[in-house]
Amino acid sequence: MATTTDTNNYKFNHSMLRVKDPKESLKFYEFLGMSLVKHLQFPESKFDLYFLGYNSPQALSHGNSTFDRQGVIELTHNYGTESDPNFKVNNGNAEPHRGFGHVCISVDHIQAACKRIEDAGYKFQKKLTDGRMKNIAFALDPDGYWVEIISQKKGSKGAEDPEEQGVETDPKTYRMNHTMIRVKDAEKSLKWYQEVLGMKLFRTVEQPAAKFNLYFLGYPGDQGIPEDGFSADYEGLLELTWNYGTEKDENFKYHDGNSEPQGFGHICVSVDNLDAACARFETQNVNWKKRLTDGRMKNVAFLLDPDGYWVEIVQNERFTGKENF
């Protein structure tokens, strides 16, 4: 195992969401083609963790260990919430608790994929045919988290694409493409994710008329950075949404998902050498939520990004040859 750390080996491993009823949530994400790759139970602390990822032979992380993957969704279930009629998660999209925005699945045939989701009885925040943007949809998971649906086909016109009509969709080909969080100061966040975590900027979408920009970051890995910016065939990207002017308001703050009301919990990066990575973070004067040496769990650390979102740091098992848990 390496005694140094190289950010080229890092992976945007997972995004964590708290859920009310794991049976319903597992059913939904498995319907979208994901597989349960690890289930961790902590009965003494009264919570379970479910790690879901795409694992068919076509999947980019097929056969990899849990923390040697990108595009994983971690569902956290605190015992008893499923039978509490008053329990409801914060989906991150309602004022005054906005912060986390959505996860995104890229699909082979977007019309057929959206029809399949609707036919199964799931609701939409935005159907493919709604509004001006006919090439994206937002489904709602059982807790009301937004799940964006985009096409893997370059230039797809979505609802208005004749080539999308009359074809079937295969969930085994889907990808967990990205996770979106809103940031107060784009310049600070871009610098932090690139310099501290070693991510690369894949694509920028500027919408001056609507007064917001989108920035897509990730770890290039074997695929490299897309030359034309098209990234729907990737997994495990991070989308930063910046609404113009928030950086100038000293009182403005996004909700981190971990203060009440809770919902989204964290994103997670897996690294080649956990001790060396954390030592490197120390030299960059990062803000820690939890150092490796804090608390009982000595194999995870948590950084705080410029907006106070939690970023978990874990060991990529490929470099140690043993399971983390």
- Could you tell me which residues come within 8 angstroms of residue 192 by beta carbon, excluding any fewer than 6 positions away? 305, 306
Catalytic residue among 74, 148, 239, 317: 148
Q: Give the β-pairing of 124-126 and 146-151.
A: unpaired
**Distance (Å, whole) CA 325 – CA 315:** 11
* Contact predicate 135/122, CB 8 Å: no
In the annotation, is 148 catalytic? yes
Measured from the Cβ of residue 11, the count of other Cβ atoms closer than 10 Å reads 26
Distance CA(133)–CA(254), nearest Å, equals: 26
CA 289 to CA 173: how far, in whole Å?
A: 37
What phi and psi, each to the nearest 5 degrees, are found at residue 12?
-80, 95
Pairing state between β 146-151 and 100-107: parallel
Q: Looking at the annotation, which residues are catalytic?
A: 148
